[in-house]
């Protein structure tokens, strides 16, 4: 079986054109696109022309210390807002709705953070831990080596950034960017 590539994807993410790949496990078709239904790793089988997503087992129900994956949707002076992707509870296949969470500047990294915009940008996919649960919402932390950006996009041309030599590089336009990246950053070469 020829597998093209494994990459981390979130629900709704565009995986392929319907003409190139057919929908496999944990994917669905929308118009001309095959999209992911879960957070997980997309795998492409070039022989059967099937794309499927293997759910990421690191994602569990919300409690303090739980690891979650989300997308940065807004950036303020002292905090960012993250859309936590709908997640499955263990193996019970209960899909939790999309939830917003807050990450304060003081919980981003174990060092002085001058500008939030140099750590996270809108559209970045991050892995974080639930730091606190309050009636108003969820609060996150990313001040550990394994937490931070899993997948970032070029702020000039929106291409996914490659991690190479401790830098994030856009192979399309050459832009070099900085982020608080996770040790599990998805695209390395
Ligand atoms: Zn670029």
Q: What is the pLDDT, as a whole number, of residue 52? A: 94
Query: How many whole angstroms from 7 Cα to the centroid of ligand 1?
Result: 19
Count of C-beta atoms within a 10 Å radius of residue 128: 26
Report the pLDDT value the prediction gives residue 94, as an integer from 0 to 100: 44
CA of 124 to the centre of ligand 1 (A): 14
pLDDT beneath 70, residues of the chain = 1-6, 11, 57-62, 86-98, 135-137
Which pLDDT score, from 0 to 100, does residue 11 have? 67
CA-CA-CA-CA torsion sign (46, 48, 53, 55) = negative
Pairing of strands 99-104, 79-84: antiparallel
Interval between CA 157 and ligand 1 midpoint (Å): 4
pLDDT of residue 48: 92
Write down the pLDDT at residue 3: 62
- Ligand 1 centre and the CA of 177: distance in Å? 10
Q: Measured in angstroms, how far is the CA atom of residue 93 from the centroid of ligand 1?
A: 37
**Domains annotated on the chain, with CATH:** 3-55 (2.40.50.100), 67-149 (2.40.50.140)
| 172 CA to centre of ligand 1 in angstroms | 5
- Distance (angstroms) between ligand 1 centre and the Cα of 45 equals 28
CA distance 125 to 122: 9
Report pTM: 0.66
Residue 5 CA, distance from chain mean position: 16
How many angstroms is it from 1 CA to the middle of ligand 1? 33
Cα three-residue angle 4-187-91, rounded to 5 degrees:
75
d(CA 6, CA 45): 10
> Tell me: the pLDDT tens digits for 73-122?
999 999 999 998 765 555 544 455 567 889 999 999 999 998 998 999 99
């Amino acid at each position: 079986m020829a597998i093209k590539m494994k990459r981390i994807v979130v629900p709704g993410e565009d995986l392929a054109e319907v003409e190139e790949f057919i929908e496999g496990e944990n994917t669905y078709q929308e118009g001309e696109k095959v999209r992911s239904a879960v957070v997980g790793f997309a795998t492409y089988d070039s022989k059967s022309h099937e794309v499927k997503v293997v759910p990421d087992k690191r994602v569990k129900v919300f409690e303090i210390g739980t690891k979650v994956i989300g997308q940065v949707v807004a950036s303020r002076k002292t905090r960012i807002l993250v859309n936590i992707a709908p997640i499955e509870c263990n193996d019970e296949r209960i899909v939790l709705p999309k939830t917003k969470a807050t990450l304060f500047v003081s919980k981003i990294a174990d060092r002085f953070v001058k500008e939030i915009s140099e750590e996270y940008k809108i559209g970045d996919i991050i892995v974080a831990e639930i730091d606190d649960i309050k009636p108003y919402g969820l609060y996150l932390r990313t001040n550990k080596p394994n937490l931070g950006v899993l997948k970032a996009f070029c702020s000039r041309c929106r291409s996914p950034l490659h991690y190479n030599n401790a830098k994030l590089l856009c192979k399309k336009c050459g832009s070099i960017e900085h982020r608080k990246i996770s040790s599990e950053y998805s695209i390395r070469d």
